[in-house]
């Protein structure tokens, strides 16, 4: 039973264009959502997060949008750069519990120069 | 503070051998987590410590797995009688208030 789903295993985008990565969740108890970036043989690196009381959070080139009614969030990267090429994981947790993260399977983003 | 450190970075072991991994969290973080990541999957929760107390264990953590966090500082994860299915990246993370920091992981290969 996958509670966090990233349905696109891969995404290719031209440098300078927008990258949109999508994530769906099923557990209504989740109230914090995070995006991580991961290079091979390294641990995940935190990018940006959003709590369920907001619908948008922005940090530089990265913006996360949350649609609670649809249980959907997305990460927008504008403009995309070749260094953004990595696997992106969506994760979620309930602030009432142990802060245990539930991850999606990841989306591999390739930014083409 | 250099972040979360994990040792070793890579471990190759023969099936049936025991292995132990170490994690040094960020010093002021009271919560420490172990996750496991296999190819094509996201990290999966294994276990969680608050200070020295192990408060939660996943059903993924079989009897062959044991974790400790003596004195609430570093943590160790031991796998006894390793199996090929244990081959994975083992990730440690720490947090104080939900802002997770992950280590670089230990890549285990069981041959």
Average confidence (pLDDT) over A2-26:
97
Mutation to test the B interface, candidates A30, A33, A44, A91, most B Cβ within 10 Å:
A44
Q: A interface toward B at CB cutoff 8 Å?
A: 4, 32, 34, 36, 41-46, 89, 91, 93, 95, 98-106
Cβ of B35: how many Cβ atoms within 10 Å? Answer: 27
Q: Which residues from B are below 8 Å from A93, CB to CB?
A: 98
DSSP three-state, residue B86: helix
CA B55 – CA A56 distance, rounded (Å): 33
Is pLDDT at A105 greater than 80 in this prediction?
A: yes
Cβ-proximal residues to B21 (8 Å cutoff; 6+ apart), any chain: B6, B7, B8, B11, B76, B77, B78, B90, B92, B106, B108
Q: B interface toward A at CB cutoff 8 Å?
A: 4, 6, 9, 31, 33, 35, 40-45, 48, 50, 55-56, 91, 93, 95, 98-105, 107
Contact at 8 Å (CB) between B33 and B94?
yes
Q: Which residues from A are below 8 Å from B101, CB to CB?
A: 46
CA A103 – CA A39 distance, rounded (Å): 16
Please give the mean pLDDT across all residues of chain A: 95
Contact at 8 Å (CB) between A107 and A47?
no
pLDDT of residue B1: 53
List the beta bridge partners of residue A88: A37, A107
**CB contact (8 A) between residue B104 and residue A45:** no
CB pairs under 8 A between A and B: 60
**CB contact (8 A) between residue B101 and residue A46:** yes
Helices and strands (H and E) in chain B: how many: 0, 11
DSSP three-state, residue B70: helix
Convert the pLDDT of each residue in A28-62 to its tens digit.
Answer: 999 999 999 999 888 999 999 999 999 999 999 99
Question: Of B72, B81, B80, B20, nearest to B48 (Cα)?
Answer: B72
Contact at 8 Å (CB) between A90 and A4?
yes
Contact at 8 Å (CB) between B68 and B85?
no
Cβ of B62: how many Cβ atoms within 10 Å? Answer: 12
pLDDT of residue A41: 80
Is pLDDT at B26 greater than 70 in this prediction?
A: yes
Convert the pLDDT of each residue in B85-96 to its tens digit.
Answer: 999 999 999 988
Question: Of A67, A72, A63, nearest to A54 (Cα)?
Answer: A67
CA B91 – CA B43 distance, rounded (Å): 8
pLDDT of residue B97: 77
- The DSSP secondary structure of B3-40, one letter per residue, reads --EEE-SEEEE-TT--EEEEEE--TT--EEEEEEE-TT
Side-chain half-sphere exposure of B57, counting CA atoms within 13 A: 13
Write the DSSP symbol of residue A15. T
Write the DSSP symbol of residue A63. E
Is pLDDT at A113 greater than 80 in this prediction?
A: yes
Is pLDDT at B69 greater than 90 in this prediction?
A: yes
């Amino acid at each position: 039973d996958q509670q966090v789903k990233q349905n696109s295993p891969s995404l290719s985008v031209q440098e300078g264009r927008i990258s949109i990565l999508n994530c769906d969740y099923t557990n209504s108890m989740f109230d914090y959502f995070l995006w991580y970036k991961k290079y091979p043989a390294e641990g995940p690196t935190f990018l940006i997060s959003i709590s369920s009381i907001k619908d948008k959070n922005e940090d530089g080139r990265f913006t996360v949008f949350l649609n609670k009614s649809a249980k959907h969030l997305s990460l927008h990267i504008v403009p995309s750069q070749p260094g953004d090429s990595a696997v992106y994981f969506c994760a979620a947790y309930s602030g009432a519990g142990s802060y245990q993260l539930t991850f999606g399977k990841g989306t591999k983003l390739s930014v083409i120069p | 503070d250099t972040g979360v450190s994990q040792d070793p970075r890579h471990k190759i072991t023969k099936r049936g051998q025991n292995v132990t991994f170490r994690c040094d969290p960020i010093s002021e973080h009271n919560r420490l987590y172990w996750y496991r990541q296999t190819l094509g999957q996201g990290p999966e929760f294994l276990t969680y410590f608050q200070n020295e107390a192990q408060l939660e264990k996943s059903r993924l953590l079989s009897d062959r797995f044991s974790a400790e966090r003596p004195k609430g500082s570093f943590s160790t994860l031991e796998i006894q009688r390793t199996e090929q299915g244990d081959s994975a990246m083992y990730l440690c993370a720490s947090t104080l208030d939900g802002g997770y920091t992950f280590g670089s992981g230990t890549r285990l290969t069981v041959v």
